[in-house]
Amino acid sequence: MTAFLFDGHHIQPGEKFKNIVRIENYPYEIPYVVINGSADGPVLMLTAGVHNQEFIGIQSAVELAREFDPDHINGTVLIFPMVNRSGFEHRTMSYTYEDGKNFNRVFPGDPEGSISEIYAHWFVHDVFPLVDYCVDMHSGDNFEELTPYVYCQGNAAPEVMEKSLDMARDVNVPYIVVSNEYTHGLYNQAGTEGIPGILIERGNLSQRNTEDSTMMKNDVYNIMVGLGMLRHRKHAASTDGIVLSDCIYQMSPQRGLWYPRWNKGTYVTKGSLIGEIHNYFGEVIYTCRAETDGVILYQTKSLNILEDDVMACIGVIDR
Ligand SMILES: [Zn+2]
């Protein structure tokens, strides 16, 4: 059993440690919790609030950090419950307040760049080398509704992709999306650095409820049992999440009022109506039709649609 070294602190086996970390040239102090288990095992990083208005992930991370008992854990859990503190404390719609960037699009970052890029670079260089696995917890943003699903890494070394898919199968959702991204996103970049990881999506429209956060926490517990990190819990049966090799993002050509036709999770056929954009006089100015057969994984639900915005993301089901 060994101490876990982070930010100059030696966190002993059996210890739970909470603190803030200061990052050079970055204006926010970032909270973290380390639970160093009383027995050896891997290091799992949990992140939430990468998108700051996705509250199910944040609430789940806060609760998990309080619930974990080091005496029940093999290995170490490193939790960042509020990654984009800048956005949260300015109530942006999941962008860094100072530079307007989406923190899940700036990896691997740049030490000479804007503050989001400086921060991403810090994660890659100061945190990733300490981590064996990662789980990033997201939800539907203010304008998004989604059917629960999980992304796994589809563009990394074969053993990383295999482990990532294993982790995704321990998440109790109907769909697993294999992502082709290898950079930009935190968990995508982690895969490129050799760290198996996943991104979980649960909850809608920046709402919070105990049902979704309980489900999200159960996902994390089940992943940890699968990784051999929890001694006093049984492995829930792996779910039969359908693996989707691709998803189509249908982007809006213009702004206006948005009227989605279906609910999240609906199966649609190629060519069927997905929604309409109206002008401010209520006249139809664009008709969105499905580019593929598939399931609506997520869609914009707010009345306002932006230009080049995701109207709907349709998961392609291989038959
Ligand atoms: Zn998100």
Q: Report pLDDT digits (tens) over 161-213.
A: 999 999 999 999 999 999 988 889 999 999 999 999 999 999 999 999 999 99
Residue 134 above 90 pLDDT? yes
Quote the CA–CA distance of 137 and 74 in Å, as a whole number.
Answer: 22
As a whole number, mean pLDDT of residues 64-74 equals: 97
As a whole number, mean pLDDT of residues 150-156 equals: 95
As a whole number, mean pLDDT of residues 105-131 equals: 97
As a whole number, mean pLDDT of residues 287-300 equals: 96
pLDDT bin (cut points 50, 70, 90) of residue 94 is confident
Cα(137) to ligand 1 centroid in Å equals: 8
Quote the CA–CA distance of 1 and 30 in Å, as a whole number.
Answer: 27
Are the C-beta atoms of residues 289 and 271 closer than 8 Å to each other? Answer: yes
Mapping DSSP to helix (H, G, I), strand (E, B) and coil, where does residue 203 land? coil
In terms of Cα–Cα distance, which of 136, 131, 124 is closest to 168? 136
CA 270 from chain centre, in angstroms, equals 28
pLDDT bin (cut points 50, 70, 90) of residue 319 is low
Cα(57) to ligand 1 centroid in Å equals: 9
In terms of Cα–Cα distance, which of 238, 221, 239 is closest to 230? 221
Quote the CA–CA distance of 122 and 242 in Å, as a whole number.
Answer: 35
Cα(21) to ligand 1 centroid in Å equals: 23
Whether this prediction's pTM lies above 0.85 is answered by yes
As a whole number, mean pLDDT of residues 211-220 equals: 96
Residue type, 19: N
Cβ count near 271 (within 10 Å): 11
What residue ranges define each of the domains in the chain, with the CATH number in brackets? 4-242 (3.40.630.10), 247-316 (2.40.50.100)
As a whole number, mean pLDDT of residues 143-172 equals: 96
- What does the pLDDT read at residue 283? 98
Cβ count near 291 (within 10 Å): 16
Mapping DSSP to helix (H, G, I), strand (E, B) and coil, where does residue 283 land? coil
In terms of Cα–Cα distance, which of 173, 83, 191 is closest to 134? 191
Cα(53) to ligand 1 centroid in Å equals: 8
- What does the pLDDT read at residue 234? 78
As a whole number, mean pLDDT of residues 128-156 equals: 96
Cα(232) to ligand 1 centroid in Å equals: 31
- From its phi and psi, is residue 62 left (phi > 0), alpha (psi between -120 and 50) or beta? alpha
